[in-house]
Amino acid sequence: MGFFDSLKNFKNQIDHIESSVYSGKQSLLELYERNARLEAEIALRTKELDTANRQMLTLQHIWDMMNSSKPLSSVLNATVRSLQGELGYLHSCIAKRLVDSEGDYLQVVACSGELFKGKMLNFFSCEPSDLRLKFPNIEDLPGAIDGNKIYQSKEISNLIKSVLPNVSNEIADAVATETKAKSFILIPLSYKNSHFGSLVVFSTRESATENELNFLALFAKQIELAITIADLFQAVKEQAITDGMTGLYNRRYFEEYIKKEAVRAGRQNQKFTVIGIDLDHLKKINDLYGHNYGDIAIKAIAEVLKSNGRSIDVAARMGGEEFNVILPGVDSSGGLVVAERIRKSIESVTLERIGKITASLGVATYMEHSEDIDELLELVDHAMYESKRNGRNRVTLAKPVSETSWQEVAIDTFVDILSKHRIPLDVKTSKYLTKKLQEMNINNEMLYQVSDELIKTYNPDHSSGGTKQKVQLASLLAKRFDLPKESIDKLKIAVLLYDIGNTMVPKEILEKKEPLTDEDRKSIKQHPLIAAREILEPISTIVDVIPIIEKHHENWNGTGYPNNLSGDSIPIESQIILIVDSYCALLENRPYRPAVSKEEALNTIMDDVNNKWSDKLANEFVSIVQNEFD
């Protein structure tokens, strides 16, 4: 091979090498470019995935709030905070459409962003929620709202001037500039096929992506669902605390509210007054016109209470024809004024067929009459029943417990027992006795008559006038032991009530002629506990009487029941009841023995000295019967 051939061959080799190098360079360049494109794609997808994750977290947060049954305001505030914190918007708010006498307007009901709130305070000296906003009227925004379409714009200053037309251009521009927002997006919200309001977000970006707008549309749907759920929850809650017939609060709500009001009153040293209202002659209305008209009369009183109350007053239907009203911050003198206004308003009502209706009212004030809620409500009832006993259609101010007569307490206790069916008495008898009690005067002899009739339901041999005799004997004996008036009054009430537990003892045992079995005695021995704990304990005004009744079968020597107390550990009032009851029982027939004479009964009393009662008690009792009691 010649020189030139070798040179040519060498050149060809160099060309081949250059071609291979160039080809490899192109491959490397293409590989680099592909890798760069792939990295960019990965970065984009990672960013989109991160956004999607944050969007999902935000939606999950809304779901968690909705499922927590929190108030709507809490759900909405949490919603707008989520938009700011998790999706990076500068500010977000929800403006609700409202209507009043001046027309339609917008009010901010949820707002995020301390900077946004700070600017509102700086420029307008108020929170966003305190501003009354006009409906925005810029560009195509009204049409977007009517068409339920998302609207976005960079005209933040124009938005501010549109919703706050009295704001100067300088302030509107300053707010837009200082909040550093470059655009806003408005998403209309619907509820029950009508415009509820709008979700508004302020962004650092001049425009939103299609994915962002799709998410905000989905987000708005979740807000609408939250509004629906919150509304349903509120409706269920209102049903649980509202009386279905009248629309007033029910007993459950009243009892919960008055406890809170008592705490507030104690903390602020501020009184509140309770008014009790009882429709007069409901039974007569029902009998003459039918129960439908009775319901109309009850509803009429409810409407009077609604129209005569302040926004902070609480009116409740306690059941049947009874209502209570709480007047926060009102003393007894103010309560009497309100009660009289209610009474006159009820009296002025004229109903179809029925004509005029009236009501009896009682008034008591927390921190004046009592600082115990149960006691306060009992006093309201006492005053209300006194209004009825004194002729109805009147207002009565309660007396403090120390001024309430023992007869009033006894009457109201019997009414409570009978009307609330605390004992197994037939309905006809309960209604009859309740009516007699409610219509009597507090010093009427009928109090003893009603007690006698009640005793006859389980002791047919009980003599007429027996209750009065027991009260008189017990009072005279109590004075021999220098008991104070308060103690004597409690004793009188106890005498009327101590044997009421016998209504719970089977009649076949009480009327048994043959000797009692151990099981029979066990049943009878339960009656003091039944009277004290099951029948009387729920009645707060006689709480001091219950221990007397519970221990009235304890013997001086410790052989009594139910607690085997002895000697001076037995309350003197209980000892008095035992000896009075034993003596009066001896004078009456029993299924297992005939009645005995007065002398025989006194001899039996003395035979049980230091067994059932003390020597002193027996001697004082015998002296009273022989010398002071005919």
Integer angstrom CA distances of residue 565 from 51, 496, 554, 612 = 79, 23, 6, 11
* Inter-residue contact 375 to 540 (CB < 8 Å): yes
DSSP string, 144-197: HHHTT--EEES-HHHHHHHH-TTS-HHHHHHHHHHTT--EEEEEEEEETTEEEE
Q: Which of 212, 261, 321, 620 is catalytic?
A: 321
| Cα–Cα distance measured from residue 375 to residue 366, given in angstroms and rounded to the nearest whole number | 10
Confirm whether 408 is a catalytic residue: no
List of long-range contacts for 144-150, beta carbons under 8 Å, 24+ apart: 144/186, 144/188, 145/186, 145/188, 145/195, 145/198, 146/195, 148/188, 148/190, 148/195, 149/188, 150/185, 150/186, 150/187, 150/188, 150/213, 150/216, 150/217
Unique residue bearing structure tokens 């960079």: 154
Residues in the chain: 630
Cβ-count burial of 41 within 10 angstroms (0-12 exposed, 13-18 middle, 19+ buried)? Answer: exposed
* Inter-residue contact 493 to 410 (CB < 8 Å): yes
| Cα–Cα distance measured from residue 609 to residue 618, given in angstroms and rounded to the nearest whole number | 7
CB-side neighbour CA atoms (13 Å) of 476:
19
Q: Which residues are catalytic?
A: 321
